Amino acid sequence: MNFDLSEEEQVVAELAQQLFSDLAQTERVKEVEEADGFDRDLWQALADVGLLGLCLPQSAGGSGMQMVALAQLAQAQGRHVAPVPLVASITASMAIAEHLPAEAALLTATADGSEVVTAALAEAGANNPWVPTVRATIDGESVRLVGTKPAVPALPIASHVLVSAVVDGRPALALVDTAAEGVTIEALRTTNHEPQGHLTLDTAIDVRRLVTTDGALDGLLHRVLIATSAVQLGVCEGAVAHAAAHVSTREQFGRPLSAFQAVTQRAADAYIATEALRSTVLNAAWQIDNGDDPTADVLSAAYWASEGTQKVVLAAQHLHGGLGSDVDYPVHRHFLWGMQLGGALGSATAHLARLGHHIATSAS
Partner 1 sequence: MDIGDSPEEAAFRAQARTWLEAHATRRSDASRPLPLDEHVPAALAWQAKLHKHGWAGLSWPEAFGGRGMSSVMSTIFNEEMAQFEQTLGPLTVSLGMVAPTLMAHGSPDQQRHIASMLRGEQLWCQLFSEPGAGSDLAALSTRAVLDGDTWIVNGQKVWTSLGQFAQYGILLARTNPDVPKHKGITYFIVDMADPGIEVRPLVQMTGHAHFNETFLTDVRIPAENVVGDVNDGWSVARTTLTSERSSIAGGGAGWSVETLIELAQHTGRANDPIIRQQLAQAHCRSVALTAMGYRVRTAASRKRMPGREMLTMKLAYANHWVATMETAMTLLGGNAMLAGDDAIAEERWQPAFLNQYAIRLGGGTDEVQKNIMGELGLGLPREPSTDRGIAWKDLPT
Contact between 253 and partner 1 (CB under 8 A)? yes
Considering only residues 272-291, where is the footprint of its own copies by CB under 8 A? none
Type and span of the H or E element at 286: helix 261-290
188 neighbors 79 (Cβ within 8 angstroms): no
286 binds, among its own copies, partner 1, none (CB under 5 to 8 A by kind): partner 1
Q: Which stretch binds partner 1 (CB under 8 A): 41-49, 110-118, 201-209, 341-349?
A: 341-349
Q: Which stretch binds partner 1 (CB under 8 A): 87-95, 157-165, 209-217, 276-284?
A: 276-284
Considering only residues 179-218, where is the footprint of its own copies by CB under 8 A? none
d(Cα 1, Cα 228) in Å, to the nearest integer?
26
Give the nearest distance from C-beta 182 to partner 1 in angstroms. 23
2 binds, among partner 1, its own copies, none (CB under 5 to 8 A by kind): partner 1
Q: Which residues, 6 or more positions from 111, have their beta carbon under 8 angstroms from its beta carbon?
A: 47, 50, 52, 53, 56, 60, 61, 62, 93
d(Cα 234, Cα 71) in Å, to the nearest integer?
10
Considering only residues 173-192, where is the footprint of partner 1 by CB under 8 A? 188-192
- Quick one: 223 or 351, whose CB is closer to partner 1? 351
Contact between 150 and partner 1 (CB under 8 A)? yes
Q: Which stretch binds partner 1 (CB under 8 A): 28-36, 162-170, 212-220, 294-302?
A: 294-302
Q: Pick from 92, 247, 312, 316: which binds partner 1 (CB under 8 A)?
A: 247
The Cα-based distances of 4 to 7, 108, 348 in angstroms read 9, 31, 28
Give the nearest distance from C-beta 200 to its own copies in angstroms. 32
Contact between 343 and partner 1 (CB under 8 A)? yes
d(Cα 175, Cα 185) in Å, to the nearest integer?
15
Torsion sign, CA atoms 70, 71, 72, 77? positive
Considering only residues 89-108, where is the footprint of its own copies by CB under 8 A? none
CA atoms within 13 A on the CB side of 16: 27
Considering only residues 228-267, where is the footprint of its own copies by CB under 8 A? 260-262, 264-265
Give the nearest distance from C-beta 113 to partner 1 in angstroms. 27
Cα 51–Cα 89–Cα 78 angle in degrees, nearest 5: 65
